[in-house]
Structure 1
Amino acid sequence: MKKTLFLLSTLLTTTLAVAQTAAPAANEPTGLATAFMKAMETEDGAAIAAITTDDFAIVSFDGQVADRDLLGQGLSGGFLVIETAPANNLRSRTYNSDLAIVTGDSKFKGSLQGTNFNTNVVFTATCVKTGSGWKIASVQFSGGTQ
Structure 2
Amino acid sequence: MKTLLVFATALLFTTVSFAQQTTDPAQDPTALGNAFFKAMLDEDGTTIGKLLASDFSLTSFDGNAVEGDLLAQGVSGGYVVVETATVSNTRTRQYNNDAAIMTGTWKAKGSVQGQGFDTTVSFSIVSAKQGGSWKIANVQFTPTH
Q: TM-score, normalised by structure 1?
A: 0.84
RMSD: 2.0
- 1:58 Cα offset (Å): 0.3
Amino acid corresponding to residue 88 of structure 2 in structure 1: N
Between stretches 67-76 and 93-102, larger displacement belongs to 67-76
Q: How does 1:1-146 map to 2 (within 5 A)?
A: 1-2=1-2, 3-20=4-21, 23-27=22-26, 28-145=28-145
Contact conserved, 1:38 with 1:86, CA < 8 A, in 2? no
> Which shifted more, 77-86 or 107-116?
77-86
One-letter code aligned to 1:17: F
Whether the 8 Å CA contact 1:91–1:103 is kept in 2: the answer is yes
1:70, CA displacement in angstroms? Answer: 1.9
Q: Distance in 1 between matches of 2:36 and 2:43?
A: 10
- Give the letter aligned to residue 110 of structure 1: G
**Residues 144 and 76 of structure 1: CA distance in aligned 2, closer, same or farther (over 3 Å):** farther
Structure 2, unpaired ranges of 5+: none
What is the deviation of 1:18? Answer: 4.5
Q: Distance in 2 between matches of 1:99 and 1:9?
A: 39
1:125: Cα distance to partner?
Answer: 0.6
How big is the shift at 1:141?
Answer: 1.2
Unaligned runs of 5+ in 1: none
- The residue identity in structure 2 corresponding to 1:16 is S
Which one-letter code corresponds to 1:131 in the other structure?
A: G
In structure 2, how many angstroms separate the alpha carbons of the residues matched to 1:17 and 1:141? 33
Deviates more, 1:77-86 or 1:120-129: 77-86
TM-score (norm 2): 0.84
Q: Deviations over 1:9-52 (max 9, x none)?
A: 324323433443xx432111111111111121122222111111
Q: Quick check: 1:88–1:106 contact (8 Å CA) kept in 2?
A: yes
CA contact (8 A) 2:46 2:76 kept: no
Which region of structure 1 is more displaced relative to structure 2, 85-94 or 47-56? 85-94
